[in-house]
Structure 1
């Protein structure tokens, strides 16, 4: 084995990434079929559809910090395996025809599983990664998650043609494959936790978390309104803008995902917020599809590295025994941002028009950029570049 292979545990990370990917396959396969299932099976309306789809976010928001602390105390492998099992159990519970309330309960359980799976895997990833490549590896971990979401959604829609039971079976089976992959990785030594804040108020997570929540405004605005905004200007194929953003988001992490480690996370986070804002402003007033696509490219590059840069800042300012709790608290701000910006962008669009959605999101991205520059980084030889 080469020295590089020893320093960068590819097989271990492949097991963690593969477990996360399969877990999100199972989580996401239900998304495209839930709206029709809720309407057809229960005769329910849009409110029930929205609740069924988003219920996972509520329990994920509330439990991410909890599972981060448990990962610190009992090891990320144990917590991540629990998350995969909880998601698989949720897939099996879909089969029980117990009514709409039961379906919501199952979705809440799946949110618990998602929180455990994601946070524990993130802690494990940081533990496994070489110190000078942690930001890059955190970024690739996010690519594994988004890859699972994208493919799971497509597979769920395809499996619906074979009946709803085929979708539920896949939702149960995919996380079990993930469990097997997770189980191939040796557990990490545990570190006794020290005292500190709890929940969203764990101090090293608060400012980076607020930056992440501000950055989420752009993602919500793009996902919810870019197609309608472009159609309003007589521009078809707005889905190309979304696809471009997704491709650039993933590609950026593969090509320049090392920048937070090399140039310093604070500097890169600040640039990323500015880049996201620039892309949003381009989209806000794009006169044609090529310009809107260019805006998606600029936004995708900026938004892609914002999360790993802010996450690396959290890690740099957190004691090793509390990094799970800190990551859990930090990622909860993403869920909080989605909760806030979902209805807020809808109200902005209704009151001021679609361009205002992207302008407000750009202002939020600039605020995230400015906030990142205020976060003090611990002084070590590895972080001196960011001073």
Structure 2
């Protein structure tokens, strides 16, 4: 028996809309804590800059390791109970922030937060793929990812305003109550039938090449967010923060307007074009003599970068047996965490040579994304396993 949606006809769109709202709410709660942690650790818990980094690293590692297993649970028991459990865990994490347990308590909460993130996002991914029509899977997966990005973007703004206006307790309250609201949304949605699930492999074979391409593309995002302001200031241009806004605008607009391209054209041309577009944008930023050239680079980069995730995800979905899709999607998304973690270390070291070299390196790796993604489309799908 395989997992199949209980929702048919036009209502599948209503359910997907509910999942997008759920994901947005939960990731706003996650994101609200991001700008609050550094001052909490440094000013109230007598921690160091290393401890600040550790709080973020622990959640990332927990999410990285937890996603394949979360996918298997969703495939085996149905996405709705697993996603609801993840939302409840997220609410408990929000409440745990308020417990005066010092640095050990905070670090434990961050591990649980990573697990909650893995469970919510991956269970919802399995649900979305089960509901979406075959000819619109990449588009719907793209919208789902956009909801997550929206939460990560809006959450820090909300968290900063709450902390400065009402203090830490207001942030913890939001972090605890918002996921409970998400549970209420999930409870109203018809779920998917439990089905057969494959083993919870950390690295299913159909994931390796698409995941590697995704990880390589993460270097461009890490370069932009971490070093664009410093790079433009070093070149006497300035206004680096504006480029982040331009990148974000291009990311959202292209995802919304052209989100069906992977479904219509197939993953290969989209991955190749978008990888090269990301590389071109990064190259423009690296060599920009003026602000307007750098701004064009941010727009080109954002427009290319945005469709890489859904196009590569579609490749993973097509190459994975239905019983393994939950594990495969979880493992695939983990490559993003892996890429960002590696990018943070590598770009930081390269920046010591010069900020421009960071963007040149990222441009080269974005071009490699196109090459690896193209090669991945030539690989033959594994034969279905007997059960």
Shorter-chain TM-score category?
over 0.9
Segments of 5+ residues of structure 2 without an aligned counterpart are 1-7, 382-387
Matching residue of 1:167: 171
Distance 1:83 1:250 in 2: 27
Question: Structure 2 residue aligned with 1:53, among 53, 56, 73?
Answer: 56
Query: Is structure 2 residue 101 aligned with structure 1 residue 94?
Result: no
Matching residue of 1:367: 368
The alpha-carbon deviation at position 190 of structure 1 amounts to 2.4
Matching residue of 1:336: 338
The alpha-carbon deviation at position 300 of structure 1 amounts to 0.4
The alpha-carbon deviation at position 289 of structure 1 amounts to 1.4
SS at match of 2:100: coil
Matching residue of 1:108: 111
* Number of aligned positions between the proteins: 373
1:308-331: CA deviation from partner (whole Å, max 9, x where unpaired): 000000000011111100000101
1:328-349: CA deviation from partner (whole Å, max 9, x where unpaired): 0101111111111101100001
Contact 1:64 1:115 in 2 (8 A): yes
Matching residue of 2:298: 296
Distance 1:183 1:15 in 2: 10
Contact 2:252 2:306 in 1 (8 A): yes
Query: Is structure 2 residue 188 aligned with structure 1 residue 187?
Result: no
TM-score, normalised via structure 1 length: 0.94
Contact 1:316 1:377 in 2 (8 A): no
Matching residue of 2:266: 264
The alpha-carbon deviation at position 377 of structure 1 amounts to 6.3
RMSD: 1.5
1:85-135: CA deviation from partner (whole Å, max 9, x where unpaired): 111100000111011111011011000000000111111111111110000
Distance 2:262 2:85 in 1: 31
CA distance 1:106–1:194, shift in 2 (3 Å): closer
The alpha-carbon deviation at position 378 of structure 1 amounts to 8.7
Matching residue of 1:119: 122
Contact 2:280 2:363 in 1 (8 A): yes
Segments of 5+ residues of structure 1 without an aligned counterpart are 381-387
Matching residue of 1:154: 157
Matching residue of 1:315: 317
Matching residue of 1:354: 355
TM-score, normalised via structure 2 length: 0.94
SS at match of 2:9: helix
SS at match of 1:6: coil
Contact 1:7 1:130 in 2 (8 A): no
Question: Structure 2 residue aligned with 1:279, among 274, 281, 297?
Answer: 281
Matching residue of 2:5: none
Question: Structure 1 residues 178-187 or 341-350, which shifts more?
Answer: 178-187
The alpha-carbon deviation at position 7 of structure 1 amounts to 4.8
